[in-house]
Amino acid sequence: MTVELKITVPREREGERLDLVLSAAPEVGSRAAAQKLIAGGHVRVNGKNQGKSYRVSAGEQVDARLPAPAPPELVAEPMDLKVIFEDEYLLIVDKPAGVVTHPARGHDSGTLVHGLLGHQIAGGDHPRRPGIVHRLDKDTSGLLIVARDDATHRRLTRMMASHDIDRTYLALVHGRFEAASGTVDAPLARDSASRQRMAVAHGRGRPAVTHFEVLRSWSGVTGKPGGAGNGSSPARDGFSLLRVKLETGRTHQIRVHLAAIGHPVAGDKLYGCRDKLAVGRQFLHSARLVFRHPRTGEIIDVSSPLPGDLVKVLDNLGGTLNLELIATACCKL
């Protein structure tokens, strides 16, 4: 992959050497690098190759093809991670909120992958994402499966595609529901107005299906000390705690689907509204995974309780909840 650089020679640089003009571009950075590009035939002036000492004229177009910088080598980093299950083929980790799943633009360190390299994760075609079968958003907490070899990675990937891995999430959303359960079946694609967002896109999106069950609703905010409201009047639309089951696994699927039906996830700054409960992140937690082990055939059934920051939000809403039961109960959908 290469980077295309285009420079229109300004009048104040007329008569300067080509290598000097090119070196002024931040993407090139030095005269030696500019000369190397020119010598390699990667630079053209008005469509023609020129030597490094060529004197440019104002208005001429300088086009350069720069090789993409090699990504930094993955290096294991110490990270306090909770591994729920592991054997020679795979592991299941309870990812904390605030941790990016794998390296990406702007995240060359501090990711879950960096923290798991010491656990001999492997598998997949992407060298920067060894073992990663599925991902959780940075501010979503909970359970994630990671492979330790190519064969296991391939099998887990097929299982994800064929919906043979049961994934249950807990989400607190704005508003109350008339029905006890529901399904959102709406295709998703990148938002044409913002590459950071996904959107419901009928006719051009990929199929996406989300099931949900209402566990508890609140008609307003109690205003307990430290909670949302702080003595203000109850929230007009209230909140609902949902158990959510993914049938497909598209980027931001739960968040987009729930926002699309008028019930954005509490604390979700990208798809939601004002954080009335001071959650500090989206209230979304990967609470349970159930699947047949791709190599041994045993049933793997693991759960993760709500982390402390999300428990505090529910405490501030008021009422009693059996959080252990919520975390371990099967989704009935």
Integer CA distances (angstroms), 117 to 92, 93, 109, 163, 177, in order: 14, 13, 12, 28, 43
Catalytic residue among 87, 108, 125, 137: 137
Tell me which amino acid residue 23 is: S
**Which candidate, 136, 154, 142, places its Cα nearest to that of 89?**
154
Q: What is the 3-state secondary structure (H, E, C) of the chain?
A: CEEEEEEECCHHHCCCEHHHHHHCCCCCCCHHHHHHHHHCCCEEECCEECCCCCECCCCCEEEEEEECCCCCCCCCCCCCCEEEEECCCEEEEEECCCCCCCCECCECCCCHHHHHHHHCCECCCCCCCCCECCCCCCCCEEEEEEEECHHHHHHHHHHHHCCCEEEEEEEEEECCCCCCEEEEECCEEEECCEEEEEEECCCCCECCEEEEEEEEEECCCCCCCCCCCCCCCCCCCCEEEEEEEECCCCCCHHHHHHHHCCCCECCCCCCCCCCCCCCCCCCEEEEEEEEECCCCCCEEEEECCCCHHHHHHHHHHCCCCCHHHHHHCCCCC
Residue with tokens 């290096």: 75
Q: Which two tokens stand for residue 145?
A: 């499966």
CA distance 300 to 164: 12
* Residue 80 annotated in active site: no
Give the residue numbers marked as catalytic.
137
